[in-house]
Structure 1
Amino acid sequence: MQIGVVIVAAGRGERAGTPSEGPKQYRMIGGRPVIARTLDAFLSWPKTGPVVVVIHRDDVGLFNGATAAVAGIERVTTTFGGATRQQSVLAGLKVMAGTGATHVMIHDAARPFIDHPLLERVATLLEAGNEAVLPALAVADTLKRGTEGRVQETVARADLYAAQTPQSFRLSPILDAHERAAAAGRNDFTDDCSIAEWAAIPVTLAEGSTDNIKLTVKRDIAMADERLSTHDLPDVRTGNGYDVHQLEPGDGVTLCGVLIPHDQTLKGHSDADVGLHALTDALLATCGAGDIGDHFPPSDPQWKGAASRIFLARAAEIVRENGGTIMNADVSLIAEAPKIGPHRQTMRETMADILGITVDRCSVKATTNEMIGFVGRREGIAAIATATVVYRGRA
């Protein structure tokens, strides 16, 4: 299953302010455009496949400017929308049909607070074989029906839900439904699930999110800006790692990716690089992805004698798949010998190359154990590592 995403961003947003203020999806909230925050949430979600954004023909410059700093924007395809949301969605679905996606999430650009847990809930229901999934919240307010300024009756709220997006579907049936609705001249549908209902596609409810609000009027945008300006702290996470390997007679040790000639070697299933092993665990800790043994078990013969840079590179990849940006990597080596100082710069450069970050973000330190314990007796070498990662899409 491959989940594509269609983000609808072709509207004019007349209720959100004056024309001079521009469409609401390009307004600034918390110092960033609304659409940039929406894209961040999807592009940092590991299950996101092809992304199509449907924009207005007049908004090419606005879109390019608003999304220039979005990580992964090169994965996004744009197409032009129509006069109605329904026409814009159809345009996006037609482009999505050529990408190889099997399923599609259709989302409003003006819902920038979509989060990964909601996306996971929807994806789980799609994976279970449901044709259509609607994230929704049970209506909590008392509802009234009124005409000409007077209440006519109270509407029972039992079994009533407020629909949200992304409304998600198996791609082929919803594309067919949209095309049939267009051919029938039906342009009165208010959302994609109503088209699915018309086409007899069963729709399954998923738990929505109270944060997943749609910015509709100018006050919504002001409140979103206030919320983010006050509470949108960066999601900075720090992970720690520790490793130790026994020393035995040999001709050299590999530490932080650098082979150092020595009268001993480190014993282990791989190259026993305690520095990179500890740093691998530190990175995995920042996104709760287990430890090095979960991904590269010593019982697996394919890792016999393997270079530990393979493990560290995969940990960095897992971090990025989860929306993380590695900011800093620090390793402390604890050994009586060999001398680390002459090799420290090469170690830092090696780490930077593996992680894809600059050398100034990599640190290697060394200390002895003052001849105390197993390290002091030259029976082993230990390492402690710390990694700092900033995660996106968690607002």
Structure 2
Amino acid sequence: MSPGAATPPKSVAVLVVAAGRGSRVGGDVPKQYRLLGGRTVLARTLALFERHPSVGSIVVAIGPDDEPLFRPSARGIGKLAGVVVGGRTRQASCLAGLQALAPAKPDIVLLHDAARPFASAGLIDRAIEAALLHGAAVPGLAVTDTVKRIDADGRVVDTPERALLRSVQTPQAFAFGLIHDAHLRAASAGIETLTDDGAVVEWAGHPLFVFEGEATNMKLTTEADFQRAEQAVSPLAALGDVRTGTGFDVHAFTDGDHVWLNGVRIPHEQALKGHSDADVGLHALTDAILGAIGDGDIGSHFPPSDPQWKGASSDRFLAHAAGLVARRGGAIAHLDVTILCEAPKIGPHREAMRARIADIAAIPVDRVGVKATTTESLGFTGRREGIAAMASATVRLPWN
């Protein structure tokens, strides 16, 4: 919150509306799940609120068939409190989300379009402050072009005074009880086609105020919007703090019939011994990411003395490290891992490993490298006593 702002409320919830189909963009994938600089639009939008200190919880309204698309976008979002299936209209989707938030009774709720991934922390601050001061407020921009109102034939009816016009954005901010009641009343009255939550409040007879929006808080609606957005984020233009980290891990062989390497189960005459599934590749990659962001090592996040990690799948470790990067507003630019062993052969499994690592870390597969080498029969790997892995991670973070 800015200096001199009203006292922050006890709780701020965010409802992200992601149930639309985005038909004006085209394609088979709804626009909120399209990749933008290597991450989905929705993942970027959720990250805005995940890292904002005043936001306590996030609920997302998604399409009825979108759970498989939604799940990767929500990785690392610790504030996610619920996912609801949206309705036929935006208004119905918002009501479904508000109903899900109702048991928690937040003081303030911000309603935000999934397709606006560029809202700043300052805009979120202003939204919360406006809700505290007014109970109902929306961000708006002054209109710079002259606006004409026309009839069905295209004839100009009048020219509104430009100084009194605002183009409205999200997040729209409300006292929770006020907006919840307004939506319930509109639904009971059979009103279904109001295009934003401010309009619902106006219909219910409540005063609505406008606070300053942001020109950069664009809504991705057309293909041209996506082209502009790509220019804004690629190549990771806003993430100028480039970090690198390295990781190393080793596990000895024990009795068994398979090994886990880079998230892939490979039949073998021995297994690897470890507290978890002993996946040396994913362990090394996890440490590389943690090293790049200066956040300890795998042992400090998942202590081997803790019984809950006994036999754990190592994809959880790598996903956790990737989530820490996302929560800091960053992105993983590249992951590279080398397996050191005499056997099993890595080549036949290389592409499956790359795909699995990319899936866990939520990055494109062309940002993953997997290599293997022997040690020419030297050392413990040469004597086939175990397997080692070394990894590097390149991470980009916003400058603090």
Q: TM-score range by the shorter chain?
A: 0.5 to 0.7
| Of 215, 218, 224, the match for 2:223 | 218
Task: Give the equivalent residue in structure 2 for 1:41.
Answer: 48
Q: Distance in 2 between matches of 1:37 and 1:215?
A: 12
SS of the residue 1:142 aligns to = coil
What is the TM-score of this pair, normalised by structure 1? 0.58
Does 2:139 correspond to 1:135? yes
* Rounded Cα–Cα distance in structure 1 between residues aligned with 2:55 and 2:14: 7
Gaps of 5+ in 2: 1-8, 244-293, 295-323, 333-394
Rounded to whole Å, the distance in 1 between the matches of 2:219 and 2:188 is 29
Percent identity of equivalent pairs: 41
Letter of the structure 1 residue corresponding to residue 153 of structure 2: E
Which residue type is aligned with residue 169 of structure 2?
A: Q
1:192 corresponds to 2:197: yes
The equivalent residue for 1:27 is: 34
> Contact (CA 8 Å) 1:45, 1:323: kept in 2 or not?
no
- Distance (Å, rounded) in 1 between the aligned partners of 2:74 and 2:164: 39
Partner of 2:106: 101
Cα distance change, pair 116–234 in 1 and its aligned pair in 2 (3 A): same
Separation in structure 2 between the aligned mates of residue 76 and residue 224 of structure 1, nearest angstrom: 28
Report the AA paired with residue 30 of structure 2.
P
Tell me the residue number matched to 1:155. Answer: 160
Residue 134 of structure 2 aligns to which amino acid in structure 1? N
Decide which of 43, 53, 60 is 1:53's aligned counterpart.
Answer: 60
What is the Cα deviation at residue 57 of structure 1? 1.0
Partners of 1:67 and 1:393 in 2: CA distance:
24
Corresponding residue SS for 1:143: coil
Residue aligning to 1:308: none
Deviation, 1:226, is: 2.4
Q: What secondary structure sits across from 2:70 in the alignment?
A: helix
Change (3 A) 1:235 1:67: farther
**Per-residue deviation at 1:123?**
1.6
Deviation at 1:199, TM superposition (A): 1.5
Partner of 1:80: 85
How far 1:16 sits from its partner (Å)?
Answer: 1.0
**Structure 1, unaligned runs of 5 or more:** 239-282, 284-318, 328-388
Is the counterpart of residue 205 in structure 1 residue 210 in structure 2?
yes
Contact 1:5 1:107 in 2 (8 A): yes
Residues 205-264 of structure 1: CA distance to partner in whole angstroms, max 9, x if unpaired? 2110000111111221222122211562315399xxxxxxxxxxxxxxxxxxxxxxxxxx
1:121 corresponding residue in structure 2 = 126
Deviation at 1:390, TM superposition (A): 6.6
Name the CA distance, whole Å, in 1 between partners of 2:111 and 2:235.
30
1:3 match: 12
- Separation of aligned partners in 1, 2:223 and 2:399: 24
Query: How far apart, in 2, do the equivalents of 1:150 and 1:16 lie?
Result: 29
Distance 1:392 1:59 in 2: 30
- Structure of higher CA gyration radius: 1
For the 8 Å contact 1:28–1:225, the answer to whether it is kept is no
Higher mean C-alpha deviation, range 99-108 or range 72-81:
72-81
Q: TM-score when scaled to structure 2?
A: 0.57
Matches of 2:21 and 2:329, distance apart in 1: 33
**Alpha-carbon distance in structure 2 between the residues aligned to 1:117 and 1:39:** 16
Mapped partners of 1:97, 1:38: distance in 2:
23
Instruction: Give SS of 1:133's match.
Output: strand
Aligned runs of 1:1-395 on 2, under 5 Å?
A: 1=9, 2-18=11-27, 20=28, 22-68=29-75, 71-73=76-78, 75-127=80-132, 129-146=133-150, 147-230=152-235, 232-236=237-241, 323=328
- Kept in 2, the 8 Å contact 1:49–1:101? The answer is no
Q: Is the CA contact 1:50–1:96 (under 8 Å) kept in the aligned structure 2? A: no
Displacement of 1:73: 4.3
| Structure 1 residues 391 and 118, CA gap change in structure 2 (3 angstroms) | farther
Residue 149 of structure 1 and its aligned partner are, at CA, apart by 4.4
Separation (CA, whole Å) in 1 of partners of 2:118 and 2:329: 18
CA drift of 1:99 comes to: 2.2
Which residue identity is paired with 1:17? G
Cα displacement (A) at 1:67: 2.9
- State the distance in 2 between where 1:324 and 1:149 align: 46
- Cα RMSD (Å): 3.0
The 8 Å contact of residues 40 and 392 in structure 1, kept in 2 or not, is answered as no
Report what 1:252 is aligned to: none
Q: Letter of the aligned partner of 1:85 in structure 2?
A: R
